[in-house]
């Protein structure tokens, strides 16, 4: 291990990746834990059984390796007083890249998942339009579509941190965010066809689930990048994501992207649906409320090492995580290993798409002492992810929505990682 | 239906999307098949059962709608003389966007799928290196990675067209292409660490399957965008894609992206593995052979309407499909409805990523007569997808590899769609 490799990017072991990459020394710390053998010895393994006998052939629908089955969403227990209500959370600590496989995309339901026959489903556009329209699923498949990669996040994600919850891990605290390729019809196309009347300022969207989930969307967003999404990562949207169709509002709180979409009514005023008054409204410390706070904040999260993990010993680790913003693309992610006193720029591993997850990493030489790991995102609009203290000073702790504060993971000298407040 | 809507882009019903979009008239042909109701009547549907009772709640691992289960790969029957050999093909005619869900990604195996325990798997780098190295799965997880969206195509894809096969559909003829987000370690990082000696010109890659699949990769590609991929669409690579790790060579024939990767040996000469002499070599008409023809050609395919579909009647249809190139991004896709006599530019619906699928579409007003639908891709290097005649004139019909010719789908006046040669 030379001095050059350890040239630090910030205190407490963060290594400057510019000095680490492209010099044939990247894994020097890693190699120390490998067996380094001569060429002959390297090939002198016992041949494993799976190399000696043919395995099963190709299949119609592929499944995961049995060794990867720990990748599961966590779903709360059914609540008899709230049938079908609740959520499941993506296993962020096990995922890499930016796409979330459809089976692991987070869910939030208010009356469970309706089993919709697409041949019987209708989408109505009415209200302040020249010509009310009704569309079948087959009708909609004929329209020009757009495919883009977007994150989706529940506005209640990470809310437990504002309540000061003890413990937890990346999945339980932050697992209500996922990312997929969404393919659908620009809503502007359908609204143009219906003919928006001048007085129309809002679009009231209602789902076909038993909760009749309803949300009011400003006409400007409806005519911008909003889509009626029919496909998710190439296949029809999953039942838990709104099959056969959902509204999709890039960058905005997930609940407003109404699933099982059945009606879009153009109105003069917002409807103030039950779902946007009893929920999804930010009550401030002075008991006034912020309503229709749609865009999700500039945010990042270290997914490894993260809460409830255990570091086996001193040495080189890879810190990795995700960053996203409802108001643009991610421009920069910084990482601190000393609770925010010093910061180093992380490597961006993925593309930096607009309103999508972005993957970052940085090498970390853990010398065995205490550490507090944090990440801080900056987006293309210049927004910088705030501290928890700043969010609480601004809004208080009554509402738990729209929390995008910096997460702190403490590492003890025995290597235990946990959620802390600093 | 006004004259303006029908302003043609090319003969036989192709409509100029520039006149169709953004004018509130896009679906005019579609609307003719809708019930257009007054606002009250539009809401006067019978409430479906799924809107009256809560459905099942969130779950640990989501499944598809029972109405979407026709999306299956087609896998040939097991062949007792070739255990585990064969392939499965993606249902291209049912997919949209550009991502292929992992369970539907095509497969091609030479000895079936080994069930590898990642804790027991090793990756060896040896041969002409300063320092032979061996890596465990855990070691590799510590490296900086890169995540990119790339297509993968078997070089045998579409080969049946050169043999003049009769019938078939998008899946059976062309289903050996898929697209995913691949996340892995740049191979250059690992090779830098091993220290490539000056004489090394090739990297011999070998898999841990019972076929010991082996391929020779030129050092230039190995040091360019090649990766050792560990994740596919965010989760560990599927068993049929090489779990726990595969080589991934963006834009190159799929077979060279060796699955279940266990060894990379740097050599002076190509190894001429069984798999690159008995297969994956292009025998020309004069019986000479082209070997190591790695990059996949500039190609496109109309996935709907496509072979074995049936158009229910005259009216407006959406022609859609995919385009890709092993030498860059897709710049343009043209569509013809008259067998290549006239062409119109298609709308690009997706991002146009380097070496990834790109989704296109164009509206088509079918007047009920005969039609021959074709698409033609142009990539960022200026390569234009050739006709079948041009490929046969160039290479003959002995080899069926690397066929990227224009596909022709005939539509009869009764609406039957089938594979034809024109």
Same-domain pairing of B399 and B281 = no
> Do A73 and B60 make contact, defined as CB atoms within 8 angstroms?
yes
Give A 180-219 residues with CB within 8 A of chain B. Answer: 180-183, 189-190, 192-193, 195, 208-212
CB contacts, 8 Å: B156 with chain A? none
Please identify which residue in the block is written with the tokens 């250059």.
B188
What pLDDT does A76 receive? 81
Q: Which residue in the set B31, B57, B317 is minimally distant from A109, CB to CB?
A: B57
Please identify which residue in the block is written with the tokens 């009347």.
A197
Least confident segment among A49-63, B11-25, B369-383: B11-25
Q: How confident is the model at residue B16 (pLDDT cuts 50, 70, 90)?
A: confident
Count of domains for chain B = 2
Mean pLDDT, chain A, as a whole number?
92
> Do B54 and A84 make contact, defined as CB atoms within 8 angstroms?
yes
Q: Which of A266, A133, A292 is nearest to A198 (CA)?
A: A266
In this predicted structure, the answer to whether residue A389 has a pLDDT above a threshold of 50 is yes
Q: What CATH number is attached to the domain comprising B265?
A: 3.90.420.10
CB contacts, 8 Å: A26 with chain B? 143-144, 189, 192-193
Give Cβ neighbours of residue B288 (< 8 Å, ≥ 6 apart).
none
Q: What is the Cβ-side half-sphere exposure of residue A66, based on CA atoms within 13 angstroms?
A: 5
Structural domain contains residue B38: no
Q: What CATH number is attached to the domain comprising B310?
A: 2.60.40.650
Same-domain pairing of B250 and B303 = no
Same-domain pairing of B189 and B233 = yes
Average of per-residue pLDDT across B219-240: 98
What pLDDT does A40 receive? 45
What pLDDT does A6 receive? 53
Same-domain pairing of B139 and B207 = yes
> Do A190 and B27 make contact, defined as CB atoms within 8 angstroms?
yes
Same-domain pairing of B267 and B333 = no
Domain range for B241: 108-290
Q: Which of B146, B130, B122 is nearest to B191 (CA)?
A: B130
Same-domain pairing of B243 and B335 = no
Q: How confident is the model at residue B25 (pLDDT cuts 50, 70, 90)?
A: very low
CA distance A71 to A65: 11
Between the alpha carbon of residue A60 and those of residues A273, B77, B143, the distances in Å are 44, 11, 34
Structural domain contains residue B42: no
Q: How confident is the model at residue A29 (pLDDT cuts 50, 70, 90)?
A: very low
- B264 has a chain A CB within 8 A of its CB: no
Average of per-residue pLDDT across B76-82: 87
Question: For chain B, what is the radius of gyration of the CA atoms?
Answer: 24
Least confident segment among B44-48, B77-81, B233-237: B44-48
> Do A136 and B43 make contact, defined as CB atoms within 8 angstroms?
no
Min distance A76 CA to chain B CA atoms (Å): 8
Structural domain contains residue B12: no
Least confident segment among A205-209, B4-8, B49-53: B4-8
- B225 has a chain A CB within 8 A of its CB: no
Question: For chain A, what is the radius of gyration of the CA atoms?
Answer: 24
CA angle B223, A15, A322 (to 5 degrees): 75
> Do A55 and B22 make contact, defined as CB atoms within 8 angstroms?
no
For B187-221, how does the pLDDT look when each residue is reduced to its tens digit (9 = 90+)? Answer: 999 999 999 999 999 999 999 999 999 999 999 99
Structural domain contains residue A267: yes
In this predicted structure, the answer to whether residue A415 has a pLDDT above a threshold of 50 is yes
Q: Quick one: what percent of chain A has pLDDT higher than 70? A: 91
Structural domain contains residue B304: yes
What pLDDT does A43 receive? 55
Average of per-residue pLDDT across A291-315: 97
Same-domain pairing of B320 and B262 = no
CB contacts, 8 Å: A127 with chain B? 39
Please identify, among B225, B257, B290, the residue that sits at the C-terminal boundary of a domain: B290
> Do B115 and A55 make contact, defined as CB atoms within 8 angstroms?
yes
Q: What is the 3-state secondary structure (H, E, C) of chain A?
A: CCCCCCCEEECCCEECHHHHCCCCCCCHHHHCCCCCCCHHHHCCCCCCHHHCCCCCCCCCCCCCCHHHCCCCCEECCCCCCCCCCEEEECCHHHCCCCCCCHHHCCEEECCCCCCCCHHHCEEEEEECECCCEEEEHHHHHCCCCEEEEEEEECCCCCHHHCCCCCCCCHHHHHCCEEEEEEEEEEHHHHHHHHCECCCCCEEEEEECCCCCCEEEEEHHHHCCCCEEEEEECCEECCHHHCCCCEEECCCEEHHHCCCCEEEEEEECCCCCCHHHHCCCCEECCCCCEECCCCECCCEEEEEECCCCCECCCCEEEEEEEEEECCCCCEEEEEEECECCCCCEECEECCCCCCCCCEEEEEEEEECCCCEEEEEEEEECCCCECCCHHHHHHHHCCCCCCCCCCCCEEEECCCCEEEEECC
**Residue B312 CB neighbours (<10 A):** 9
Q: What is the Cβ-side half-sphere exposure of residue A173, based on CA atoms within 13 angstroms?
A: 29
For A135-187, how does the pLDDT look when each residue is reduced to its tens digit (9 = 90+)? Answer: 999 999 999 999 999 999 999 999 999 999 999 999 999 999 999 999 999 99
Please identify which residue in the block is written with the tokens 């966007």.
B97
Average of per-residue pLDDT across A220-239: 98
Q: How confident is the model at residue A333 (pLDDT cuts 50, 70, 90)?
A: very high
Beta sheet of A330-336, edge-to-edge order? A344-345, A330-336, A371-379, A408-411, A417-420
Contact yes or no for A180/A100 (Cβ under 8 A): yes
For B345-366, how does the pLDDT look when each residue is reduced to its tens digit (9 = 90+)? Answer: 999 999 999 999 999 999 999 9
b/e burial code for range A257-273 (CB count within 10 A of at least 16 → b): bbbbbbbbbbbeebbeb
Q: Quick one: what percent of chain B has pLDDT higher than 70? A: 91
Min distance A85 CA to chain B CA atoms (Å): 6
Question: Looking at the DSSP assignment, which residues form a beta bridge with residue A359?
Answer: A322
For B121-158, how does the pLDDT look when each residue is reduced to its tens digit (9 = 90+)? Answer: 999 999 999 999 999 999 999 999 999 999 999 999 99
Same-domain pairing of B277 and B339 = no
Structural domain contains residue B64: no
What pLDDT does A8 receive? 79
Which phi and psi angles does B27 have, rounded to 5°?
-95, 15
b/e burial code for range B191-209 (CB count within 10 A of at least 16 → b): bbbbbbeeebbbbbbbbbb
What pLDDT does B44 receive? 61
- A272 has a chain B CB within 8 A of its CB: no
Please identify which residue in the block is written with the tokens 């804790």.
B119
Please identify, among B238, B264, B290, the residue that sits at the C-terminal boundary of a domain: B290
CB contacts, 8 Å: B244 with chain A? 65, 67
Same-domain pairing of B279 and B313 = no
What pLDDT does B76 receive? 81
What pLDDT does B19 receive? 43
Q: Which residue in the set B143, B210, B234 is minimally distant from A52, CB to CB?
A: B210
- B36 has a chain A CB within 8 A of its CB: yes
What pLDDT does B29 receive? 32
Question: Looking at the DSSP assignment, which residues form a beta bridge with residue B248?
Answer: B227
CB contacts, 8 Å: A131 with chain B? 36
Mean pLDDT, chain B, as a whole number?
92
> Do B34 and A134 make contact, defined as CB atoms within 8 angstroms?
yes
CB contacts, 8 Å: B71 with chain A? 235-236
Give A 311-340 residues with CB within 8 A of chain B. Answer: 316-318
Give Cβ neighbours of residue B82 (< 8 Å, ≥ 6 apart).
none
**Residue A393 CB neighbours (<10 A):** 11
What pLDDT does A77 receive? 84
- A269 has a chain B CB within 8 A of its CB: no
CA distance A196 to A198: 7
Long-range contacts (CB closer than 8 Å, 24 or more residues apart) made by B275-278: B275/B110, B275/B211, B275/B213, B275/B214, B275/B215, B276/B214, B276/B215, B276/B216
What pLDDT does A406 receive? 98
Same-domain pairing of B209 and B343 = no
In this predicted structure, the answer to whether residue B269 has a pLDDT above a threshold of 50 is yes
Least confident segment among A56-60, A79-83, B186-190, B414-418: A79-83
What pLDDT does A78 receive? 86
CA distance B177 to B257: 13
Name the residue with higher pLDDT: B108 or B12.
Answer: B108
b/e burial code for range B291-307 (CB count within 10 A of at least 16 → b): ebbbbbbbbbbbbbbbb
In this predicted structure, the answer to whether residue B387 has a pLDDT above a threshold of 70 is yes
CA distance B10 to A414: 71
CB contacts, 8 Å: B135 with chain A? 34
Between the alpha carbon of residue B65 and those of residues A83, B54, B86, B204, the distances in Å are 20, 16, 29, 44
Average of per-residue pLDDT across A49-57: 95
Q: What is the 3-state secondary structure (H, E, C) of chain B?
A: CCCCCCCEEECCCEECHHHHCCCCCCCHHHHCCCCCCCHHHHCCCCCCHHHCCCCCCCCCCCCCCHHHCCCCCEECCCCCCCCCCEEEECCHHHCCCCCCCHHHCCEEECCCCCCCCCCCCEEEEEECECCCEEEEHHHHHCCCCEEEEEEEECCCCCHHHCCCCCCCCHHHHHCCEEEEEEEEEEHHHHHHHHCECCCCCEEEEEECCCCCCEEEEEHHHHCCCCEEEEEECCEECCHHHCCCCEEECCCEEHHHCCCCEEEEEEECCCCCCHHHHCCCCEECCCCCEECCCCECCCEEEEEECCCCCECCCCEEEEEEEEEECCCCCEEEEEEECECCCCCEECEECCCCCCCCCEEEEEEEEECCCCEEEEEEEEECCCCECCCHHHHHHHHCCCCCCCCCCCCEEEECCCCEEEEECC
Q: Which two tokens stand for residue A68?
A: 């990867």
What pLDDT does B413 receive? 96
In this prediction the pTM is: 0.94
Give Cβ neighbours of residue A46 (< 8 Å, ≥ 6 apart).
none
In this predicted structure, the answer to whether residue B20 has a pLDDT above a threshold of 70 is no
Please identify which residue in the block is written with the tokens 């005519």.
A223
Contact yes or no for A323/A330 (Cβ under 8 A): yes
Which phi and psi angles does A41 have, rounded to 5°?
-60, -35
The size of the A-B interface in CB pairs under 8 A is 437
> Do A62 and B86 make contact, defined as CB atoms within 8 angstroms?
no
What pLDDT does A7 receive? 63
Q: Which two tokens stand for residue B353?
A: 């990523």
> Do B23 and A316 make contact, defined as CB atoms within 8 angstroms?
no
What pLDDT does B2 receive? 34
- A305 has a chain B CB within 8 A of its CB: no
> Do B359 and A147 make contact, defined as CB atoms within 8 angstroms?
yes
Structural domain contains residue A220: yes
Structural domain contains residue B369: yes
In this predicted structure, the answer to whether residue B45 has a pLDDT above a threshold of 90 is no
Same-domain pairing of B252 and B317 = no
Q: How confident is the model at residue B6 (pLDDT cuts 50, 70, 90)?
A: low
**Residue B210 CB neighbours (<10 A):** 21
In this predicted structure, the answer to whether residue B305 has a pLDDT above a threshold of 90 is yes
Please identify, among B290, B312, B328, the residue that sits at the C-terminal boundary of a domain: B290
Same-domain pairing of B307 and B380 = yes
What pLDDT does A193 receive? 95
> Do A38 and B109 make contact, defined as CB atoms within 8 angstroms?
no
Please identify which residue in the block is written with the tokens 């779903």.
A75
Best interface-test mutation with B: which of A79, A144, A347 has the largest number of B CBs within 10 A? A144
Average of per-residue pLDDT across B363-371: 96
Best interface-test mutation with B: which of A1, A62, A244, A346 has the largest number of B CBs within 10 A? A62
Q: How confident is the model at residue A28 (pLDDT cuts 50, 70, 90)?
A: very low
In this predicted structure, the answer to whether residue B114 has a pLDDT above a threshold of 90 is yes
């Amino acid at each position: 291990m030379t001095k050059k490799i350890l040239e630090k990017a910030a205190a407490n072991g963060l290594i400057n990746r510019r000095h680490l990459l492209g010099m044939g020394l990247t894994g020097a710390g890693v190699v120390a834990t490998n067996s380094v053998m001569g060429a002959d010895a390297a090939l002198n393994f016992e041949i494993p059984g799976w190399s000696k006998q043919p395995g099963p052939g190709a299949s119609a629908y592929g499944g995961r390796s049995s060794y990867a089955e720990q990748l599961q969403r966590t779903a709360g227990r059914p609540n008899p007083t709230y049938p079908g209500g609740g959520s499941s959370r993506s296993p962020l600590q096990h995922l890499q890249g930016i796409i979330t496989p459809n089976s692991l995309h987070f869910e939030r339901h208010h009356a469970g998942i309706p089993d919709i026959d697409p041949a019987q489903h209708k989408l109505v556009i009415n209200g302040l339009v020249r010509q009310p329209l009704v569309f079948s699923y087959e009708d909609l498949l004929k329209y020009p579509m757009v495919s883009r990669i977007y994150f989706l996040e529940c506005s209640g994600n990470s809310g437990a941190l504002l309540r000061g919850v003890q413990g937890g891990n990346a999945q339980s605290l932050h697992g209500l965010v996922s990312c997929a390729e969404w393919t659908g019809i620009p809503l502007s196309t359908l609204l143009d066809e219906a003919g928006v009347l001048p007085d129309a300022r809002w679009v009231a969207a209602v789902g076909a689930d038993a909760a009749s989930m309803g949300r009011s969307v400003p006409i400007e967003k409806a005519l911008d990048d909003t889509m009626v999404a029919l496909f998710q990562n190439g296949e029809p949207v999953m039942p838990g994501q709104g099959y056969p169709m959902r509204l999709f509002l890039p960058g905005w709180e997930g609940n407003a992207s109404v699933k099982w979409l059945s009606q879009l009514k153009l109105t003069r005023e917002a409807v103030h649906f039950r779902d946007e008054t009893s929920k999804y409204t930010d009550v401030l410390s002075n008991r006034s409320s912020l309503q229709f706070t749609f865009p999700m904040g500039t945010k990042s999260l270290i997914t490894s090492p993260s809460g409830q993990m255990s570091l086996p010993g001193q040495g080189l680790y890879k810190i990795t995580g995700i960053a996203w913003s409802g108001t643009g693309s991610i421009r920069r992610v910084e990482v601190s290993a000393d609770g925010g006193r010093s910061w180093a720029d992380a490597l961006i591993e993925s593309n930096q798409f607009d309103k999508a997850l972005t993957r970052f990493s940085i090498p970390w030489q853990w010398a065995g002492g205490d550490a507090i790991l944090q990440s801080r995102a900056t987006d293309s609009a210049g927004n910088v992810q705030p501290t928890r203290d700043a969010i609480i000073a601004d809004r208080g702790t009554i509402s738990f929505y729209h929390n995008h504060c910096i997460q702190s993971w403490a590492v003890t000298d025995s290597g235990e990682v946990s959620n802390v407040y600093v």
